[in-house]
Amino acid sequence: MENRYTGTGKRKSAIACVIIRPGKGERTVNGQAMAEYLKSDVLVMDVEKPLRMLGVAESYDVSVRVHGGGLTGQSGAIRLGISRALALVNEDNRKALRQGGMLTRDSRVVERKKYGQPGARRRFQFSKR
């Protein structure tokens, strides 16, 4: 079996299954090129931050299956998945990624809507008369 490392990332309601293999630096998300799927250079840079931090951006091929949420949540999930997979490659990677904050799961999710209100915190307008 070839060398492959997997990592699962979650952010908001998005879940990403990431597989990294030694290669030429190809990136695919749900069968499309990463830049084509994420549409924004800022999101692509955010996703590749752990690879650039370790200086291995061109050394690994990244293949991702992601679903749920929007593009921002999906990019955060992909970044965490890549970080977790890179941490499996080498223990020194784990220390560097931890210091850079790449292995911390952002636990913020949308607050639920409450009954008798139009939103999570918003109240109906008060009428004195």
Residue 69: inside a domain: yes
Q: What residues contact 101, with CB distance under 8 A and at least 6 apart?
A: none
Confidence of residue 2 (pLDDT cuts 50, 70, 90): confident
Q: Cα(60)–Cα(3) distance, rounded to whole angstroms?
A: 11
Q: How confident is the model at residue 68 (pLDDT cuts 50, 70, 90)?
A: very high
CATH code at position 38: 3.30.230.10
Rounded average pLDDT over 119-128: 94
User: Does 1 score more than 80 pLDDT?
Assistant: no
Mean pLDDT of 23-31: 95
Strands 60-67 and 27-29: parallel
109 occurs within a structural domain: no
Domain that holds residue 91: 5-99
Q: Tell me the pLDDT of the chain averaged across its residues.
A: 94
Instruction: Tell how strand 14-22 and strand 32-33 pair up.
Output: unpaired
Q: Is residue 64 part of a domain?
A: yes
The verdict on residue 126 lying in a domain is: no
Residue 106 domain-assigned? no
Domain membership of residue 90 (yes or no) is yes
Q: Please state, in angstroms and rounded to a whole number, the distance separating the CA atoms of residues 102 and 72.
A: 16
Confidence of residue 99 (pLDDT cuts 50, 70, 90): very high
Residue 129 pLDDT class (50, 70, 90 cuts) = confident
Within a domain: 129? no
Evaluate whether residue 52 is within a structural domain.
yes
Count structural domains, the chain. 1
In the predicted model, what is the mean pLDDT of residues 120-124?
95
